[in-house]
Chain A
Amino acid sequence: MRDRVAQLRQHSVETRPFISAERARLLTEFYAANDGKYSVPVMRALAFKYLCGHKTIYIGESELIVGERGPEPLATPTFPELTCHSLEDLEILDSREKTSYGVSPEVIEAYNETVIPYWRGRSIRERAFQLLPPEWHDAYEAGIFTEFMEQRAPGHTVADGKIYKKGLLEFKEEIAATIVDLDFIDDPEAYDKREQLTAMDIAADSLIFLAQRHAEMARQLAEVELDEGRKAELHRIARNCERVPAHAPTDFWEALQAYWFYHLGVITELNGWDSFNPGHLDQHLEPFYVKGLDDGSIDREDAKELLECFWVKFNNHPAPPKVGVTAAESGTYTDFANINLGGLKRDGTDGVNEVSYLLLEVIDEMHILQPSNNIQLSRKTPDRFLKAAAKVIRNGYGFPSVFNADSVVEELLRQGKTVEDAREGGTSGCVETGAFGKEAYILTGYFNLVKIFEVTLNNGWDPRTGKQLGPETGDADDFESIEELFEAWRTQVHHFVDIKLRGNHVFDRLYATAAPAPLLSLITDDCIRKGKDYNDGGARYNTSYIQGVGTGTLTDSLAAIQHLVFDQRSLSMKELLEALDSDFEDQEKLRQLLVNKPPKYGNDDDAADDLMVACFEAFYEAVEGRPNARGGEYHINMLPTTCHIYFGSVIGATPDGRHASQPLSEGISPVQGSDRHGPTAVFKSAAKMDHIKTGGTLLNMKFTPHLLAGDDGIDNLSSLIRGYFKMDSHHVQFNVVTADALREAQARPDEHRHLIVRVAGYSDYFCDLSQALQDEIIARTEHEGF
């Protein structure tokens, strides 16, 4: 790593993230002065233009890639038009133990005097909450589901290759041509389309202007720069910013800078989930890399330095912080930009190239929180690449995670994408499948399958909130078979999916009508052609997901009841329910029986795994194919991020022997500690789920380092992954760390601040995690033999 990179990295890693009120202040100024003058899309575009024109421009001392969302690195803007922080929220952000954000008195003042008075009652969140029915609020407050769009805009989106092939001036020509072709007589939507297209045009100009402002600043800095080398770099930066994103990039450096401006624009316009993401970066950069080597304008080390400078930019941008309850609980700076390596090309050939290997080296050298990264492994991916990735995985930073590119393609085909669009797709966020540059695939919330099971055992009633949340599906005492219990649960699942969908439609329409995203739209096919916004069905594909949580806990709970209550008849349902009500008070013997005796998911035992499959299929049937409000369909994902902690906290004791309030199992991983037959058994169990019917599953495996030692260790890890993927599974990630090392880090956090662990679809600093999550990671089974 060159000194420049080391310095930039150090600054990024050591600076405490802080809230910047600049965006909120500028946006409020603009809205206060202009609200009501324009159509909503044009208003949004002009607000974006105002931000691009007035935000503070920052060029760091030795930076090669320039542009910050805030006034400087780690400055984190807010989005009061979507969700407006209260003064109390800001205080919590500043004072909370984990992942805090510095909040200065100036920010408090701006919020108190300008931002809050204007946005109170106007934010999307407040408007949505008024429109949602009481049963939605009851289920939401009970912890049946979460709602993604109450604080952040629809996102999860990824760029494809078009931004490297044309500049914004060409996009503007397409917009102009589309406007010319509008039929203002026979197309009653022509007016709406023109407003939308005009907004995209303004957004394009705004981003070009933002780049121009960076060019000017670079030139001014160059004039006063004494060091000749840096002076030349600043002139080069100025030229880059004049060329891109107005024009298509012509070389490696410009290509990275071009992407970065689009990235900044997308995350300034709105705070979409999972930031923004260059997707198949290695494939996009390869032509520039090859050309640079050929004409001698770049060598391998220069390219790596540029990539490393680019890496730091992601890490400079923490996730926009939440408000309300989640302000205290939500604990990560990661914003989930998840870069894809390898995979397939549009024509179906192997996508690995020299830049892929270069990026693995970058990941290994940088080991910083952001960007997340993964390899897309297909049958065609060379073993050499898999093994190179396995060596990075072995180093224990939790990167890269591994996806089955063949399954990803099959999932997308099943959803109706063309085979080319599917191959150009990949995964973003945690594990979500999407057609890059052509799809709005919106995650709408986590769905607490275990809470619904608790409600089922209580005949539709929630013991925690004391409310009748679901239909009366029968007293658990009266069930005479596991099938009857299962049917009752299935009925409850349908009931709560209906409530969730009803709420989702409200959010869909609010974002479509009140918060369009013209910049994101103009780079997402086919928003220009349709004259429609990304948030209003403008994309070629418009998918919504609901994410099921608690697979392991739910399966083991059902298996315990089947085994002890219905098969052995050694325990009555009444006794079990009483023990659960009291959280196993004076019932440790029973709890131990529940923990140790019934079949458990994760051991390649059909007695448990068949129940997992039944639960999965029931959830799938409840959601699959139902319409969203953007002209697309719903599908399911099986992933929790860190929501299994929150979801566990709202549930009493469960029949698998889990104590009240403890975390649920995460992703499709087994209950912590219940997988006793090693990784191959976990893989076999997990693969019994039909992953192809999902848009992503998350499996977390933890290994202690010594079993990965040597070439044999790399071979075995590679074979494990290939074996799991041969069974059409979706994703696996590895924590390579010992439990003792984690305990040590827990005891002395100051000495282990840099310890990164894979949490649930992303990597995070171990010491930043809540005690509960730390404990859980420690407790996860260390596989025998490792």
Chain B
Amino acid sequence: MTTGVVFNIQRFAVHDGPGIRTTVFLKGCALGCPWCHNPESRPFGPVLSILPERCVVCDACIEVCPPGLARPPGADSTIYGTDPKRCLRCGACAEACPSGARTLVGRASTVDSLMFDLDKDRIFYDESGGGVTFSGGEPVTPGRNVEFLLAALAACRVRDYHTAVDTSGHAPRETLLAVAEVTDLFLYDLKLMDDELHRSWVGVGNRLILENLEALAATDTEIWVRVPLIPGVNDDERNLEATAAFVASLPKPCPIHLLPYHRIGGDKYRRLGESYPMDQVLPPSREHTGAIAAGFRSYGLEVKIGG
């Protein structure tokens, strides 16, 4: 049976496509964007997240940990206990934790069990013209979740749910085209137009991403281009103009959604035992974002601020 590693199912998602949606977050991403607000999504396997303030220091985690590594959060322990390499990622500690301080992020799911959750809000999809969005991580990753994604998209199509796939575009073309066959909308991220800068910020070049977008724009599937506005990374005029020119040159009109950087995800790094690389970066001002939107509009593009 096809399974995927799901780390969150968000109901009443209203920023990931039209209407009221359920967004399915799949684990694993090859990119390393330092502004990522879902850092728990990066590894393909489960990770532990700990909220120290919730810990009631009851020792429940110590009692159940099979290798005996777990410790209450504190100076003498990492997230993964006294010897992180030996942690099984089994989640026994999270299961036992009475206060919800510990969570195991990411669980294997079958398509059937996923659909059980997606069906719950059918009535709201119908009322709002909403549906289901697959996000991540990077949901379009061959050998990882893509089989699961394709099966889930097919199951949604049987039910007549509108579907969207939120992708970085960093995936084999044929895989993306296969996804395009069974989805209604791509939410397609464009971060940086310069190949080298792209590589230096997120770890991979952008050539594949840009060519894939051109290829997808030739299909019938709708595309919303999403541009995260990260101060000091990609909000310079040169990059934005290049982005606008590129999107305007695509074979079909694709609206631009500007996603101003925010720090809401910052606390997640702390809970994963990591430091937040963009701690000092402030969200762009409303005026700056407005000016950028105007710049895009001057290319004849439809622009929206926010998802």
Contacts and interface: CB of A to CB of B under 8 A. Distances in A.
B11 A707 contact: no
A684 interface: yes
A785 B10 contact: yes
Interface string B86-109: 000000000000111000000000
Interface in B215-266: none
Given A604-B120, A723-B128, A727-B123, A593 B13 contact: no
B124 interface: yes
Contacts of B20: 680, 716, 719-720, 723
B39 interface: no
A785 B99 contact: no
Nearest to B305: A710
A596 interface: yes
B69 to A, nearest CB: 21
Interface string A680-708: 11011000000000000000000000010
A127 interface: no
Interface in B1-53: 10-15, 19-20
The winner among A596, A677, A680, A684 for most chain B CB atoms within 10 A is A680
Interface residues of A, number: 29
B58 A783 contact: no
Contacts of A578: none
B56 A680 contact: no
A2 interface: no
Interface in A287-342: none
Contact of B60 (A589, A680, A681, A716): A589
A595 B99 CA distance: 8
A244 to B, nearest CB: 44
A592 B99 contact: yes
Interface in B121-142: 121, 123-124, 126-128, 130
Given A719-B128, A723-B128, A597 B98 contact: yes
A592 B98 contact: yes
Given A604-B120, A680-B121, A681-B11, A719 B127 contact: yes
A712 interface: yes
A715 B10 CA distance: 19
A588 interface: yes
Nearest to B59: A589
Contacts of A716: 14, 19-20, 128
A723 B127 contact: yes
Contacts, number: 74
A785 B127 contact: no
A707 B124 contact: no
Count chain A CB atoms within 10 A of each CB in B13, B98, B120, B126 and give the residue with the most. Answer: B98
A726 B12 contact: no
A682 to B, nearest CB: 10
Contacts of A715: 19, 128
A597 B98 CA distance: 7
Contacts of B130: 719
B9 to A, nearest CB: 9
A785 B13 contact: yes
Interface in B78-92: none
Among B60, B121, B127, chain A packs the most CB atoms within 10 A around the CB of B127
A784 interface: yes
B121 A719 contact: no
A722 interface: yes
Interface string A580-621: 000000001110110111000000100000000000000000
Given A719-B128, A723-B124, A589 B100 contact: no
A319 B157 CA distance: 56
A678 B19 CA distance: 15
A590 B124 contact: no
Contacts of A398: none
A681 B20 CA distance: 12
Nearest to A677: B11
A736 to B, nearest CB: 15
A784 B20 CA distance: 13
Contacts of B11: 677-678, 680-681
Residue from B10, B12, B127 with most neighbouring chain A CB atoms (10 Å): B12
Nearest to A713: B14
Task: Select the residue from B11, B19, B100, B130 with max chain A CB neighbours within 10 A.
Answer: B11
B59 to A, nearest CB: 9
Contacts of B14: 707, 712, 716, 785
A679 interface: yes
A785 B16 CA distance: 11
Given A712-B14, A716-B19, A716-B128, A589 B56 contact: yes
Nearest to B120: A604
A610 to B, nearest CB: 15
Contacts of B127: 719-720, 722-723, 726
Contact of B56 (A592, A681, A783): A592
A28 B128 CA distance: 61
Contacts of A678: 10-12
Contacts of B121: 680, 684
B56 A588 contact: yes
Given A679-B12, A707-B14, A719 B124 contact: yes
A683 B120 CA distance: 11
B93 to A, nearest CB: 14
Contacts of B126: 723
A590 B56 CA distance: 11
Contacts of A588: 56, 58
Nearest to B19: A719
Contacts of B128: 715-716, 719-720, 723
B7 to A, nearest CB: 15
Interface string A139-159: 000000000000000000000
B124 A680 contact: yes
A337 to B, nearest CB: 32
B284 to A, nearest CB: 16
Given A589-B58, A785-B13, A720 B124 contact: yes
Contacts of A681: 11-12, 120
B12 A596 contact: no
B38 to A, nearest CB: 14
A134 to B, nearest CB: 44
Contact of B10 (A683, A712, A722, A784): A784
A681 B9 CA distance: 12
Contacts of B19: 715-716, 719
Contacts of A589: 56, 58, 60, 98-99
Nearest to A712: B14
A14 to B, nearest CB: 36
Interface of A: 588-590, 592-593, 595-597, 604, 677-681, 683-684, 707, 712, 715-716, 719-720, 722-723, 726-727, 783-785
10 smallest beta-carbon distances between A and B, as pairs? A719-B128, A592-B98, A678-B12, A593-B98, A592-B99, A589-B58, A719-B127, A723-B124, A723-B127, A596-B100
14 contacts: A589-B58, A592-B56, A593-B98, A596-B100, A681-B11, A681-B12, A683-B124, A684-B121, A715-B19, A719-B130, A723-B20, A723-B128, A784-B10, A785-B13
Given A680-B11, A719-B130, 18 more contacts: A589-B58, A592-B99, A596-B98, A678-B10, A679-B12, A681-B12, A684-B120, A707-B14, A715-B128, A716-B14, A716-B128, A719-B20, A720-B12, A720-B127, A723-B123, A726-B123, A784-B10, A785-B14
